């Protein structure tokens, strides 16, 4: 029965959800820049907060809400996380503490839920968190769609150049040698590039992979975050996009917290924790 309740309610309340989840920050807040804790992606978090808001708004008690949500998830890992939250609630923990114990939700989310519980605006907080992740997912799709075509073009062009210099040019070199005439300087330069291209290509790919591995290993180091952030902000176009995205994210956090009657300074402190960009 639980497997059918949630989809049924989603269909009934979908129109109302779409109206309440519209935001003027949609175009800027969809980008998922930070790496979330494995096990709960942005989409799963959006579904969890949206479903929890929808069920609580319908007057269902919170224990039954988690039973329904747990039955809606298919993956065992997700079921276990929701079950753990439900178990902590039954043992007397607050909802914020139950979310925090899973270590799958960041401090901003947990503090937002805690404030919602303390101020009696939990439904508003859950709705805003759902909107937040919905916006991030949408912009992530837009950016991925915008960058995928140029990335494919660059990849194909690189492969074509590699094929030409590694296979086609050596074939023409043999043909030119049979003529016994001196080749133009430009042709000689292309042939010389072809001779050293194979080793150079492997070397360049090796350097790129090594730098990528080093960046992944050092991504949490303060000095590395500071240097990469400084560099990215000075990249043409990208720097301006990052500024706007994080400014919009800060505004969304402030809207959520101030709407829950959190003091201004406390709201600034909590909003700062949601921004991982150094």
Looking at residue 221, its pLDDT comes to: 80
H-state helical runs in 91-184: 95-102, 107-119, 122-163, 169-179
Q: Determine the Cα–Cα distance for residues 56 and 53; give it in Å rounded to an integer.
A: 5
CA distances from 178 to 59, 173, 182, 194, 238 (A): 87, 9, 11, 19, 52
Q: Which backbone phi and psi does 167 adopt, to 5 degrees?
A: -125, -45
How much is the CA Rg of the chain, to the nearest whole Å? 26
pLDDT at residue number 198? 62
| Residues present in the chain in total | 278
Distances in Å between the Cα of 131 and the Cα atoms of 39, 126, 128, 245, 247 are: 20, 9, 5, 15, 17
What pLDDT score was predicted for residue 33? 39
C-alpha 278/C-alpha 276 separation (Å) is 6
Q: Is 120 left (phi over 0), alpha (psi -120 to 50) or beta?
A: left
Provide the pLDDT for residue 35.
Answer: 37
pLDDT value of position 213: 86
Query: Nearest-CA neighbor of 102 among 123, 125, 78, 122?
Result: 78
How many CB atoms within 10 Å of residue 148?
Answer: 10
**Phi-psi category of 125—alpha, beta or left, where left has phi over 0 and alpha has psi -120 to 50?**
alpha
Please report the pLDDT score of residue 23 as a whole number.
42
Q: What is the pLDDT of residue 15?
A: 47
Each of the 278 residues of the chain gets a pLDDT tens digit; together they read: 555 555 555 555 454 444 444 443 333 333 443 433 445 778 888 888 988 889 888 888 888 888 888 888 888 888 888 889 999 889 888 888 898 888 888 777 887 788 788 778 888 888 888 887 887 788 778 777 777 888 889 888 888 887 887 777 777 777 777 776 677 777 777 777 777 666 676 777 788 888 888 888 877 788 888 888 888 888 888 788 888 877 877 787 777 777 767 788 877 877 776 666 77
Residue 98 in contact with residue 116, Cβ under 8 Å? no
């Amino acid at each position: 029965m639980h497997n059918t309740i949630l989809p049924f309610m989603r269909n009934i309340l979908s129109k109302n959800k779409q109206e309440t989840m519209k935001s003027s920050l949609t175009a800027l807040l969809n980008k998922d820049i930070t790496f979330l804790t494995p096990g709960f992606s942005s989409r799963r978090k959006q579904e969890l907060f949206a479903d929890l808001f929808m069920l609580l708004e319908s007057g269902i008690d919170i224990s039954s809400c988690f039973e329904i949500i747990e039955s809606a998830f298919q993956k065992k890992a997700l079921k276990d996380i929701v079950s753990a939250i439900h178990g902590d609630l039954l043992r007397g923990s607050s909802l914020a503490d139950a979310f925090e114990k899973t270590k799958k939700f960041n401090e901003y989310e947990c503090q937002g839920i805690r404030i919602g519980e303390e101020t009696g605006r939990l439904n508003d907080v859950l709705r805003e968190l759902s909107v937040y992740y919905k916006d991030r997912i949408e912009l992530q799709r837009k950016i991925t769609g915008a960058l995928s075509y140029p990335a494919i073009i660059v990849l194909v062009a690189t492969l074509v150049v590699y094929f030409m210099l590694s296979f086609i040019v050596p074939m023409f070199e043999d043909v030119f040698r049979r003529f016994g005439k001196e080749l133009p300087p430009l042709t000689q330069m292309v042939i010389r590039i072809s001779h050293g291209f194979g080793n150079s290509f492997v070397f360049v790919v090796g350097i790129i992979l090594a730098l990528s591995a080093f960046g992944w290993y050092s991504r949490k180091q303060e000095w590395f975050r500071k240097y990469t952030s400084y560099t990215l902000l000075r990249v043409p176009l990208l720097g301006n996009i990052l500024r706007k995205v994080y400014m919009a994210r800060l505004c969304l956090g402030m809207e959520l917290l101030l709407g829950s009657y959190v003091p201004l300074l406390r709201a600034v402190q909590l909003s700062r924790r949601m921004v991982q960009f150094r």
